[in-house]
Structure 1
Amino acid sequence: MKPTLLLPLLFTAVHGWGTLGHQTVALLSQQYLLPRTISSVQSLLNDTSSTYLGNIALWADSYRREVGGEFSAAFHFVNGDDAPPPESCEIILPQDCPDGGCVVSAIANYTERLKDQHLTTTERQQALKFVVHFLGDIAQPLHTEAFGAGANNISVTFWGYTTNLHAAWDTSIPNAMLGLAPTAAITTGDSLGWANGLAAAINAGKYRRLVKGWLKYHDVQSPKAEEKAAAAWANESNDHVCDYAIVRGGDAYNGTEIGGEYYDGAREIVQVSVAKAGVRLAAWLNLVFAGETGFEGSCRS
């Protein structure tokens, strides 16, 4: 078993995709929302701007640091706590999701709250913000791994920049894919540009025939169905920990430079993970507000 003493560090160290990743997921999803979904979401957010989902994509990361929001810190990840990678990668529920919650249970819980018309607008708005963020978080492989506190404890350098393996996947690698430094200030234009490129690959490129598989578990009929979908996404992300992110074992990466060959191999995983998250978020919200994914019968299915 992995050392449990490492796990609490995730509560303070984990950050999710950086600004670029989370905004791109949200802005990509906007391109596939149905008219009824758009109307409902914009009304709930009281925001009719062209970047209404991108504007709230990072809210959950800020909220967990606020007084009264600390309870949500554990909702950004799930601890895949089997044998150390690459020996084994698997999310086993309920033991990998403690009583305090995890990203799998949080997606189900806040989807239910988003659907609940008896809640206040403020409560449902908060639920929407969580859903948008958590469907991004669960697509980041190291948000589904307990080893080394989600690899926050694995020190690396990226193009000479001192960081850790988790943060590199969150920020350094995605930023570099757009030619940006790890510490670059991300603009909405950066995120929108990446989202548009991914949309082209989804609509008529290399991801076109993959969309149907990405939506295999979409079902918002009950908390059980929602948790089943989230668990499947988490396991899919966790597979990347063993097949790439920590394929050599955690100790092998400590103190190493990962801006070369390692980065080259990680790029496509990050690219497809963000693409999947954007499509899945759109289809999830469409199911909640319009009763269909929006991809039924399309050329992408």
Structure 2
Amino acid sequence: MIRKIIVLLALLATTLAAPVSAYWEYGHETIGQIAYRNVTPHTRAAMDALLRQSALLETPGCPAGTVEQAAVWADCVKKLGPRFSYAYSWHYQNVDVCRPFDLKPACKDGNCVSAQIERDVKLLKDRTVPVRERVQALAFLIHFVGDLHQPLHAGDRGDLGGNQVSATYGSYAPEKLNLHSIWDGYLAERAISTPLSPVRVYTAAEKAAVQAGSVEDWSRESWQVAHDFTYATAMGGDACAPTGGRAVLDQATIEKLVPVAKLEVERGGLRLARLLDEALG
């Protein structure tokens, strides 16, 4: 019996030490689910019709037949190496949070997440575009809107979106844990799992309050969240203070950040719904 307990503890430790890809599956899938629940019936039918053609992507190891699968497809295909390597820089736009907001340097030649969101909407609107390309645009769009609403995909301090900032999360402090992985996964998962579930049909007033603005407006807002909350809480109140060792997110700080992270997921889902209605509705 003791030996079995030791084996189980070892497996648990291995699981905790091996987080998955960007914004983790849970965050991206939740944003996709929120959007799917809040688009018009016509848009939902158009999405389903495109996703039924996902075999055209020829990525059997990375299916995209449902909104949940499509939400993580862009991360899944990274493992295919050179075939999709051109899209690596499309997942983020590291705009310096310690300088005035300026998208242009971070989006050279359209190689950033906000530019690709706008490109995918255009491709989906154009019914003359081959079906395979429209399916791919749909999968990319679902994923990239999620990425934009992970604050460390929208702003950073020249530290690879917080990947170079070691951090502790409550009492959890493995050596390789960093600020990016906390916002990608641990904090997002807690926020999504905290009642009430963000996956629901929102009222017209709730949608109007969130969906207004442009992709650039949303970029600036997410960048501001990175400054005001992500870095400020990690750097002792000053987002641009010198990094002094390991960032510490204690339990009180985590509890304050949960509603911030949850709001980002809700914003991502409802804004994705708006873009999908514009493109397919």
TM-score range, shorter chain: 0.7 to 0.9
Write the letter of the residue equivalent to 2:215: A
Q: 1:281 aligns with which of 261, 272, 275?
A: 272
How has the CA–CA distance of structure 1 residues 105 and 61 changed in structure 2, closer, same or farther, with 3 Å as cutoff?
same
Indicate yes or no: 2:43 matched with 1:37: yes
- Root-mean-square deviation (CA, aligned residues, Å) is 2.6
Secondary structure, aligned partner of 2:168: strand
The CA deviation string for residues 80-136 of structure 1, in whole angstroms up to 9 with x for no partner, is 1363xxxx462x132221226100111111111122222221111000000000111
Change (3 A) 1:16 1:160: same
What is the aligned partner in structure 2 of residue 236 from structure 1?
221
CA distance in 2 between counterparts of 1:109 and 1:212 reads 23
Deviation (angstroms), 1:146: 3.5
Distance 1:93 1:175, change over 3 A: closer
Distance 1:266 1:115 in 2: 37
148, 151, 172: which one pairs with 1:160?
Answer: 172
Q: SS state of the match for residue 255, structure 2?
A: helix
Give, in whole Å, the separation in 1 of the partners of 2:48 and 2:190. Answer: 32
Q: For residues 134 and 121 of structure 1, what CA distance do their matches in structure 2 show? A: 20
From the superposition, tell whether residues 209 and 130 of structure 1 become closer, same or farther in structure 2 (CA, over 3 Å). same
Judged with a 3 Å threshold, the aligned counterparts in structure 2 of structure 1 residues 161 and 104 are, in CA distance, closer, same or farther, namely same
For 1:143 and 1:19, how far apart are their aligned partners in 2? 16
User: Does 2:94 match 1:79?
Assistant: yes
Residue from 203, 208, 215 that aligns with 1:212: 208
Asked if the contact 1:154/1:253 (under 8 Å) is kept, the reply is no
Distance in 2, matches of 1:70 and 1:110, equals 18
Does the CA-based 8 Å contact 2:96-2:155 persist in structure 1? yes
What TM-score, normalized to structure 2? 0.77
Structure 1 counterpart SS, 2:93: coil
Which structure 1 residue ranges, 5 or more long, are not aligned? 1-13, 180-192, 218-228, 291-301
Q: Hey, what's the Cα distance between the residues in 2 that align with 1:114 and 1:201?
A: 24
User: What runs of 5+ residues in structure 2 fail to find an aligned partner?
Assistant: 1-19, 54-64, 233-237
* Residue 108 of structure 2, aligned match among 98, 102, 120: 98
Report the structure number with the largest CA radius of gyration. 2
Q: Which moved more, 1:157-166 or 1:19-28?
A: 157-166
The Cα offsets for residues 169-196 of structure 1, whole Å up to 9 and x where unpaired, read as 00011223467xxxxxxxxxxxxx97x7
Instruction: Give the drift of 1:201.
Output: 8.7
**Rounded Cα–Cα distance in structure 1 between residues aligned with 2:50 and 2:106:** 33
**2:28 is aligned with 1:22:** yes
Amino acid at match of 1:166: H
Q: Distance in 2 between matches of 1:99 and 1:253?
A: 35
**Is the alpha carbon distance of 1:174 and 1:81 closer, same or farther for their aligned partners in structure 2, counting shifts above 3 Å?**
closer
Whole-Å separation in 2 of the counterparts to 1:174 and 1:202: 20
Q: How many residues align?
A: 241
Report the equivalent of 2:259. 268
3-state SS in 2 of match to 1:150: coil
> Secondary structure of the residue that 1:257 maps to in structure 2?
strand
Check the 8 A contact 1:89/1:242 in 2, yes or no.
no
Separation in 1 of the partners of 2:228 and 2:205? 23
User: 3-state SS of the aligned residue for 2:107?
Assistant: coil
Aligned residue for 1:139? Answer: 149
Distance 2:208 2:155 in 1: 26
Contact 2:94 2:152 in 1 (8 A): no
**1:261 CA drift (Å):** 2.2
1:28/1:70 CA distance change after superposition, 3 Å = same
Q: 1:22 to 1:138 in 2, by over 3 A?
A: same
* Corresponding residue of 2:140: 130
* Structure 1 residue corresponding to 2:79, chosen from 60, 65, 71: 65
Q: Deviation digits for residues 4-41 of structure 1, max 9, x if unmatched?
A: xxxxxxxxxx9531111000000111111212111111
Residue 172 of structure 1 corresponds to: 186
CA contact (8 A) 2:167 2:247 kept: yes
